Amino acid sequence: MSGKDLHVSLQQLTNCISRITDPADGPADSVPELAGRVVCDLKETLCDADSGEDTAALVRFFMTVEHESLEDSVASAIASRFPVLTPQPDTKCLTLMGTVGDDPDWCDVTRSQGHRSIPLMNEESVKQIPMIARLVSDLGLELHEVLKPGVDLTMAKERRDFRVFHVEEAEGSQYIPDQEFVSSRGIRSVLGLGGMMPTGHLFVVIVFSKVRISLETALLFRAVALGVRMVLLPCLENKILTGEKGTFEEVESLQAVGHAQSELLEVFRTTVIEQSDKLDHTLDELQTTNSDLRATLDDLKDAQSRLVDFEAKLVSKYAVEKLRDPSTYKVAFVVGTLINLFGQILVPLLRGRSDVGEIFLRELEARPALAALSIAVAYVFPIIVQVHSAVTSRIRGHGAEMRAAFIDSKPDPVFRAAADGRIIDAGANTRVLLTRCGLDTAQDVLGVELWNKICETQRDGCQLPRETYVRVEAFDDSFFVAHSAAADGASNIYLTAAEPRDNDA
């Protein structure tokens, strides 16, 4: 799954927030109960829409709790793991409240190894834990605000826009120290969301994803963080953990819930606008691309049509050339005569008939048209075969013939001109010569009369006489002229240096 990207729609996001804020089995009675619901809802939201496969390997919910409020088993686990630390009663401990994952041990808070609760002793000690330090920073908080939150500061922070902790490439990241876990479980990206509560408690939900999560997708989860905070507020009226006193009055809770709802609506509004702008931009790009594709398709159709016309003209030209070749008829006469001799004389003789001449005369007298046709076909058929063979051979070799004829390194001038005479291509040496002399058209080089003659003979499928030559004043030289047909009615012109003659064209 590592090659995939996570795609979350606004509908999926809205459904997730609805399940969190309005659960079917009623509101949660405690933070651990709520945390368990949140991690399960998030893991369900992060399933692949096509295959239904989980993309989240592990989802965990943490919250800061004073050390004095921790259960004895959790406090003992801290003492065992951090024997050199002596937490104070008010020391904030980042405590695991809910967990769900691919491994059964990851679905029970009590089975957590090493992450049940982490004491945040001071700023220096927290900085030694790269992931937590980066997480606090990405959520828009300062370490001292998490360790010793003041009332005014807390209210200001909890009303800020929520941010996300995001590591797009977990492999090799300094912020994800457990690289063995990353490689063995195929972790691609890490996403964290959370924020500060009015009571000074920080809550964080961390997702370890097996597919890539882009920053654009990660930012969509800001709304989820606000939804979690909204349902978390009433839980703070009760004990967060066993032994902790309620820290939130009902009036404050209602006010905070109101603030949370307003912020949730604002984040949703911003998210919808951003997604709408993105969709509009994507739609504009698709429309532009569609227009470009249509134009390209029209060009291809036009080019295909011209190519078909050119090939038809080429076939006609090669067929005419073969039909004008006297050798075609010489071969046809010989082959046709042999066919007629075989059919009219040899076959009857092989059948034991000696009156071959009488048989032919009787056949001619009885069915004169059929007899004449059979004789004519014997002569026409070799002509058809020769023309077909010649055209097929020439067509197959046309591309190589053109490439061989239009040699870029040819020392004498060689260029290609469009039907109107514009020079559209030239050999390397010729380009330099044409530029130096300021020549842009075939008429400039050959003269109008000769160019028109070339166009005329080419339309007829013919060639200029071999001794055709021209004096090019701009080049101060005389050349023999040859030409060949190119695509789109263009012509390849080949000039070969020759001695000047009295009747230069």
* Any domain includes 142: yes
Asked which of 396, 414, 443 is the last residue of a domain, the reply is 396
Nearest-5° angle of CA 463, CA 468, CA 469? Answer: 135
CATH at residue 464: 3.30.450.20
**191 and 73 belong to one structural domain:** yes
Region of residue 68 (left: phi > 0; alpha: psi -120 to 50; beta: else): alpha
Q: What is the mean pLDDT of residues 227-241?
A: 75
How many C-beta atoms lie closer than 10 Å to residue 445's C-beta?
28
* Any domain includes 306: no
Q: What is the band of 163 on the pLDDT scale with cuts at 50, 70, 90?
A: confident
**350 and 259 belong to one structural domain:** no
**468 and 368 belong to one structural domain:** no
State the residue range of the domain holding 258.
10-283
DSSP 345: I
Each residue's pLDDT tens digit, 347-366: 777 777 777 777 778 777 78
pTM greater than the 0.85 cutoff: no
Q: How far apart are CA 206 and CA 204, in angstroms?
A: 6
CA neighbor of 37 nearest in space, from 56, 13, 18 = 18
pLDDT at 264: 58
The two tokens of residue 73 are: 């088993």
Q: How far apart are CA 204 and CA 229, in angstroms?
A: 10
**50 and 169 belong to one structural domain:** yes
**383 and 431 belong to one structural domain:** no
Q: How far apart are CA 439 and CA 431, in angstroms?
A: 10
Residue 6 in this model has a pLDDT that exceeds 80: yes
Residue 191 in this model has a pLDDT that exceeds 90: yes
At 118, give phi and psi (nearest 5°): -120, 115
**88 and 200 belong to one structural domain:** yes
**94 and 189 belong to one structural domain:** yes
> Which residue is listed with tokens 């063979």?
389
**95 and 34 belong to one structural domain:** yes
Q: Which of 140-149, 434-443, 460-469 has the highest mean pLDDT?
A: 434-443
Residue 239 in this model has a pLDDT that exceeds 70: no
Q: Is 270 helix (H, G, I), strand (E, B) or coil?
A: helix
Nearest-5° angle of CA 40, CA 41, CA 42? Answer: 90
**157 and 101 belong to one structural domain:** yes
**250 and 349 belong to one structural domain:** no
**347 and 261 belong to one structural domain:** no
Which residues is 64 bridged to in the sheet? 94
DSSP 320: H
Counting the structural domains of the chain, the total is 3
